[in-house]
Amino acid sequence: MRILSGIQPSGVLHIGNYFGMMQPAIALQAEGEAFYFIADYHALTSLHNPEALRENSRRVAVDFLACGLNPERAALFLQSAVPQVTELTWILSTIAPMGLLERAHSYKDKIARGMAASAGLFNYPVLMAADILIYDSDTVPVGKDQKQHIEITRDLAVKMNETFGEIFKLPEPRINAATEVVPGIDGQKMSKSYHNNIDIFGDEKETRKRVMSIVTDSTPVEMPKDPAGSTIFQLYSLFASKNEVGGIREQFQKGGTGYGDFKKQLFEKLWDYFAPMRKRREEILADKSYIDDVLTRGAKRANEIADQVMQRVRTAIGL
């Protein structure tokens, strides 16, 4: 089984990235042949600072490795290190129906939130389809909100196969139902774009500040509180054991504990959870050549597969 996933280097990684993409991807690397790319082409739809893009891309690699990605099991590489993906994007765009792209939820959402309506943003699902198809991917781990991208990928693969013969296999989504949406400090989906994030490797003072700024209702300290509607409880549940979750649920329902105390419990749990990863991150940063070596080896493996697929595509379409 070949597994494919990507993560954008659009900013510092937060716990929504970790539970939404990184943790599931790290778990899956033991199940098959994994290819994980840092989506620097995708980041160009919103990031136009070359120094920031390079810095963010490298930081993603460091953080991913610190969180447990094993480069002996999974290929980690820059999307731009496999130029065949842009060639395939153009080929797919020549058969992609406009109506299909116009129905993309992510495009509508980003435009509604004020992002410029560029051709690249509109064509984003085609580039994502190329990312998936270029490696003959079998499985793509995604959150429920990204399932449509896999459906679009399959639609484009079917259209290519119907037009030119059997070129592509149809990838299957692996929905990470346990953490479909990680809430930010305002209760909405955590996103750097919405400024509601808690970073994985933020410094202690800033991380504590972000946790303590989580939006809550005005329920008095002595009154029972609804854990199901609490961002604090939802985040705590990501880091705690089943027994610990049960314990804090009882505290919520019993009353007598204020939101400030719950936030302090959340911070301690979060900070302790990432402590081993912070240590590993320091070790990685101390080895100046390690990141470059990992990315080079990952790109070599990715290019070997992409070359084979593109040769098949070119032959089929007449190039």
Q: Which domains does the chain have, with CATH numbers?
A: 2-182+288-317 (3.40.50.620), 202-273 (1.10.240.10)
With pLDDT > 90 as the criterion, what percentage of the chain qualifies? 82
* 308 CB burial (10 A radius; 0-12, 13-18, 19+): middle
For position 111, what pLDDT does the model report? Answer: 78
* Catalytic site includes residue 189: yes
Rounded CA gap, 313 and 88, in Å? Answer: 8
In the annotation, is 192 catalytic?
yes
pLDDT at 179: 55
Q: Quote the distance between the C-alpha of residue 21 and its chain's center.
A: 4
Give start and end residues of each alpha helix (H) in the chain: 15-17, 23-28, 40-43, 50-66, 84-93, 98-102, 105-112, 119-122, 124-133, 147-164, 204-212, 231-239, 242-254, 259-273, 275-286, 290-317
Q: Residue 202 corresponds to which tokens in the numbers above?
A: 């933020």
Q: In this structure, are residues 36 and 76 in contact, taking their beta carbons and an 8 Å threshold?
A: yes
Q: For residue 2, give Cα distances in angstroms to 29, 61, 81, 134, 288.
A: 10, 20, 19, 12, 30
Tell which residue, 71, 62, 72, 76, has the closest CA to residue 278. Answer: 62
Residues 133 and 153: their CA atoms lie apart, in Å, by 8
| Contact present, 10 and 47 (Cβ < 8 Å) | yes
What does the pLDDT look like over 148-199, one tens digit per residue? 889 999 999 999 999 999 999 999 998 876 556 899 999 998 988 788 999 9
Q: Which of 110, 225, 263, 269 is catalytic?
A: 110
CA distance 123 to 110: 13
Query: What separation in angstroms does the CA of 79 have from each of 44, 68, 237, 303?
Result: 12, 20, 33, 10
CA atoms of 109 and 111, how far apart (whole Å): 5
Residue range 79-101: mean pLDDT, rounded = 96
Sign of the CA dihedral 239, 242, 244, 250? positive
Cβ contacts of residue 161 below 8 Å, gap of 6+?
167, 168
pLDDT of residue 36: 97
Q: Are 274 and 282 in contact (CB under 8 A)?
A: no
Sheet arrangement for strand 33-38: 74-78, 33-38, 2-7, 139-142, 172-175
The active-site residue, picked from 147, 159, 169, 192, is 192
For 195-248, the pLDDT digits (tens) are 899 999 999 999 999 999 999 999 999 999 999 999 999 999 999 999 999 999
Tokens of 142: 């995604």
Which residue in 159, 189, 209, 264 is the catalytic one? 189
With b for 16 or more beta-carbon neighbours within 10 A and e for fewer, the 168-192 pattern comes to beebebbbbeebeebbbbeeebbbb
| Predicted pLDDT at 115 | 76
CA distance 194 to 199: 13
Looking at this protein, which amino acid is placed at residue 107? Y
Quick one: pLDDT at residue 177?
63
